[in-house]
Amino acid sequence: MAKTDINRLDLNILMVLATDNATNELNGMTVNEINSYYGEDKPLLSARPNLCKRMRGLHSMGYIEKGIKDVTSDTYYITENGLERIKWNGGNKDE
């Protein structure tokens, strides 16, 4: 995949999933959890329809996968490809 296959919002989504340790189907996050990750007093990452569109794109590229449902909401987690794409080092700032 080309280096320009994702945008800044996509990177933010991947970083939220990685930072919150959403790396398997049991620890996935819903769209609402991702969107409000930075707190109630902070602005949302994006409008919900746009965020859902970007999530579908990341899913089709293999950077995220669907986890188990949270009542009726889908959850998502970052894949190994997604972690490699953002060069995740487990949150260590030294590397």
Given a cut of 90, is residue 40 above it in pLDDT?
Answer: no
In the numeric block, the tokens 């049991």 are attached to 26
Average pLDDT over residues 48-67: 95
Nearest to 64 by CA among 89, 35, 88, 28: 28
Average pLDDT over residues 58-80: 96
- The more confidently predicted of residues 4 and 43 is 43
Question: How far is residue 24 from each of residues 18, 44, 77, measured CA to CA in Å?
Answer: 10, 24, 6
pTM of the model: 0.85
**Would you state the pLDDT for residue 90?**
65
Q: Which band of pLDDT confidence, cut at 50, 70 and 90, is reported for residue 89?
A: low
